[in-house]
Amino acid sequence: MSYYVTTAINYVNAVPHLGHAYEAITADVMARNARARGESTFFLTGTDEHGEPVALAAAAEGVAPLELADRNAERFRALTATLEISNDFFIRTTDPGHVVRVQEILQRVHDAGHVYLGTYEGWYCPRCADFKTEAEMAPDYHCAIHGIPLERESEENWFFRLSAFQERLEALFDGQGDFVMPRHAYNEARSFLAGGLTDVSLTRKTLTWGIDVPWDEGHVFYVWFDALLNYVTALGYARDGEDLTAQFWPATFHVIGKDILKFHAIYWPALLLAADLEPPRHVYVHGFLLGPDGEKMSKSRGNVLDPFDVVGEFGADVLRHYLLREVSSGQDGPVSLDGVRTRYTTELANEYGNLASRTLNMLERYCDGRVAAVALDEGLSGDFAGLTARVDALLDHAELSSALDEIWRLVRRLNRYVEEHAPWQLARAGDRADELTRVLASLAEGLRLVTVLLNPYMPAKTATLLEALGRPELDQRDYAAEGWGGPVGELAPLFPK
């Protein structure tokens, strides 16, 4: 099986904030989990560099659009490294490989008769780079998202015959109830579709910062079509001399925020059908991180947390754990530095970190620093039965926070196991050495397994712990019947207080 997961590509008119980090982390957990279970995986992220929002931001700074794009693309690239994101490629829509493929695919769409020349008149938000229908705008012709006045625009555009795909999209939605997840997002897209599709602009004439339309000089492609195509074009040039399209298309998951649902759930599958390509299997729509004011975190509201600062203070794993534990998948959630601190102490230091150090200390003290090759406690293996399959199934439905809850229940179960069996008392009893050996080997195996399953969420700390256990393999995802019989090493506190 192959697994292809993407994030939305980020606009380079602003610098990264925690909302972008959240999306990258989400997709990264899915990619790492897929790799661990042996799927051939490709994970794509990158930057969206054309279009009016970027041109406007560059003009405001008095620099060329590409200069702004170069600078901010580097910030986004640095963010992936800082967050331990395991993307296989970082696309920039100004890459020549992207540009030629966009032209080639949209030429095909043109030649197949899915576009026509017309005049567009409507209300346009330059920050969204989107025309608004009456239903989508705030009172008095304002943008519902940015609160700025919409502009009345009229220009000659090439149109994409979106309306011609009404039935095929209905069939897609009706035949595939998990095309968009979670359900409330599916329902929203389905009711947009039920409202009836109208054709949309594919090109713009008054803008120059975009990809040239090959069949009509003077037009550039509307940024959304250029941007959406990144998911396909990247596969064509991410690896020198190799075309990965046959191996990875259709994408398994596009991970996006709810503000760009229409583009991904409606425009994108229609465009793919027009280009004779398969629609993606799933679109997963996460919620928004909310700032301290309870509003969507966004640069224009000024309520953002800088992910570089948070990672600087706590480390990437702590932020990753916090976001996926704090915010229920598919829902909005408020986040704060205080929240990070609290979960750090209560869960990472006191629960997981403590479990790790006490397990290794007791193995050292009572078992000569070894995990014995003895039959393991069936009581504990019972608690682990089916855990990995449940986690995988939840992640296949993009329920990342529920999967983490499942794993965390077992972290707590292991701490209770220690209390219930009180190895220090077994050691004092003198005649209960076998039981002591078995309890600690069982505990070690339990700790190993939760750590393997936590690895997609906290790649660095878990790798350190697995190394100390002498069992670094990430693909050993079942609770064993017998202890592995090997020495364990030393471990500095994973989450010092």
Residues at the site binding ligand MSP, with contacts judged by CB under 6 A: 8-11, 19-20, 22-23, 48, 227-228, 230, 256-257, 259-260, 288-289, 296-298
Instruction: Work out how close the CB of 437 gets to ligand MSP at its nearest, in angstroms, rounded to a whole number.
Output: 48
Instruction: Work out how close the CB of 257 gets to ligand MSP at its nearest, in angstroms, rounded to a whole number.
Output: 2
- Which helix (H) or strand (E) segment is 321 a member of? helix 316-326
- Name the catalytic one among 258, 262, 299, 397: 299
Residue number, 189 or 450, with CB nearest to ligand MSP: 189
Q: Which residue number has the CB closest to ligand MSP?
A: 257
* Beta partners for residue 189, in sequence order: none
Is 282 a known active-site residue?
no
Contact 85, 129 (CB under 8 A): no
Instruction: Work out how close the CB of 54 gets to ligand MSP at its nearest, in angstroms, rounded to a whole number.
Output: 9
Contact 169, 269 (CB under 8 A): yes
Residue number, 10 or 442, with CB nearest to ligand MSP: 10
- Name the catalytic one among 282, 296, 321, 421: 296
CA distances from 360 to 202, 377, 412, 469, 493 (A): 61, 18, 17, 8, 11
- Name the catalytic one among 110, 128, 219, 282: 128
Is 20 a known active-site residue?
yes
Residue number, 159 or 288, with CB nearest to ligand MSP: 288
Instruction: Work out how close the CB of 284 gets to ligand MSP at its nearest, in angstroms, rounded to a whole number.
Output: 10
CA distances from 208 to 57, 279, 453 (A): 14, 30, 48
Structure tokens at 363: 């193995």
Residue number, 22 or 221, with CB nearest to ligand MSP: 22
Residue number, 234 or 410, with CB nearest to ligand MSP: 234
- Name the catalytic one among 50, 110, 114, 125: 125
Instruction: Work out how close the CB of 268 gets to ligand MSP at its nearest, in angstroms, rounded to a whole number.
Output: 8
CA distances from 460 to 342, 387, 493 (A): 20, 22, 13
Is 143 a known active-site residue?
yes
Angle made by CA atoms 192, 198, 204, in degrees to the nearest 5: 115
Instruction: Work out how close the CB of 312 gets to ligand MSP at its nearest, in angstroms, rounded to a whole number.
Output: 20
Angle made by CA atoms 412, 181, 324, in degrees to the nearest 5: 30
User: What is the secondary structure of 162-213 as a DSSP string?
Assistant: GGGGHHHHHHHHHH-TTSEESHHHHHHHHHHHHT----EE-EESS--SSPBP
Instruction: Work out how close the CB of 289 gets to ligand MSP at its nearest, in angstroms, rounded to a whole number.
Output: 4
Instruction: Work out how close the CB of 238 gets to ligand MSP at its nearest, in angstroms, rounded to a whole number.
Output: 16
CA dist 284 and 304 (Å) reads: 23
Is 367 a known active-site residue?
no
CA dist 26 and 325 (Å) reads: 11
Residue number, 325 or 461, with CB nearest to ligand MSP: 325
Which residues, other chains included, contact 403 with Cβ-Cβ below 8 Å and sequence gap of 6+?
390, 391, 394, 395
Structure tokens at 22: 């959240």
Is 296 a known active-site residue?
yes
The dihedral through the CA atoms of 422, 427, 429, 435 has a sign that is positive
CA dist 424 and 428 (Å) reads: 6
Letter string b/e over residues 192-206, b meaning 16 or more CB atoms within 10 A of that residue's CB: bbeeebebbbbbbbe
Residue number, 145 or 371, with CB nearest to ligand MSP: 145
Q: DSSP letter for 83, please.
A: T
Residue number, 24 or 452, with CB nearest to ligand MSP: 24
- Which helix (H) or strand (E) segment is 131 a member of? strand 130-132
Query: Which residues are designated catalytic?
Result: 17, 20, 125, 128, 143, 146, 296, 299
